[in-house]
Amino acid sequence: MAKGVLLDLGGVVYEGDRLLPGAADAIARLHDSGIPLRFLTNTTRAPKHRILKRLKDFGLEVSPDEIFTPAQAACAWLSARGLTPFLVVHPDLVDEFSGLEGPNGEAVVIGDVGEALTYTQLNAAFRRLIDGAEFLALANNRTFKDSDGALSLDAGAFVAALQFATQRTPHVLGKPSRDFFATALQSIGCALEDAVMVGDDAENDVAGALSAGLGQAVLVRTGKYRVGDETRVTPAPTATVANLAEAADWILSQGA
C-alpha cells in the first residue's frame, strides 16, 4: 500500500463552491486507513486562508500544514534568496507576499492574473526580466475549470507570453515541479517512490508526478478532465477512474 497520498483540490475534491459527490467519504476512508494525506493545489487566485475556509465550509477538517500552494513555495524561495517580488498575480493573492523585501534584487512572480491583467503590468514585468530579474512561475497550467463549468485560461498562458518575449525559461514552483511534490511528501516522511498522486490534470498532476519520481499517479474523470486525456500524456496514468471515491478504492485495494 502507498505510504503517502497527494490529492489535488480543485476538480478532485471540489468544483467551485460544490463538494464533489463521494469526496468527503473518500478522504475519511483514506484517513482511517492510516495513510498520511497532503493536499496540493496549483490555484494562483485564492490565498491559503480562503482555501482552508472553503474546506471547512464543506465539513472537512484540514490544517494549514496539510495544504501546499505555489504562493507558499514562492515565498520560501524568495526568502531563501533575499529577493523582492515584482508581482503579476491575481489581486486576491497579493497579501500572501506581504513583507517580502530582500537585498539581492528582484524576481518577477507570475500566476493567473485573471481579468486584472493589463498590458502595462505585463510590460513592466518584461522589462525587469530583460534587465536580469529572476523569473518565477507560480504554475504553468494551460486551463482550469471555471465557476461557470467551462474551461478558462490558466497561468500558463501568461507565463508563455513572457517566456516568448524574453526568451527565458521560468522556474516553475507548483506542479509539476519535483520540489513541490517532494516538499509535501517530506512533511509526512514519505519517499517519492512510495507515494500516489490523484489529480484531474493529466499533464501536470499525473504525468508531472510520475516524471518527478512518484511511484503511482491516478487520473480522475472530474474537473478539467476531457475524454482521452489519459492517452495524450507520457508517462501515462497508473490508473484512470471516475472520481475521488474510485481513486480511494483503487489506492486501498493496492494493499489487499
Confidence at residue 255, expressed as pLDDT on a 0 to 100 scale = 66
Which stretches of the chain score pLDDT less than 50? 256
pTM: predicted TM-score of the whole model, two decimal places = 0.92
pLDDT at residue 145, as a whole number: 87
The predicted structure's pLDDT at residue 66: 96
Note the pLDDT of residue 256. Answer: 47
**Omega before residue 235 within 30° of 0, cis:** yes
- Listed by start position, the domains of the chain span 4-42+176-253, 72-172
In CATH, what is the architecture of 4-42+176-253?
Answer: 3-Layer(aba) Sandwich (3.40)
Buried/exposed code over 74-109 (b: 16+ C-beta within 10 A; e: otherwise): bbebbeeeebbbbbbbbeebeebbeebeeeeebbbb
Domains 4-42+176-253 and 72-172 in one fold? yes
Residue 137 has what pLDDT?
97
Does residue 62 contact residue 39 with C-beta atoms inside 8 Å? yes
Grid cell at residue 9: 483540490
Task: Fold for 72-172, please state it.
Answer: Rossmann fold (3.40.50)
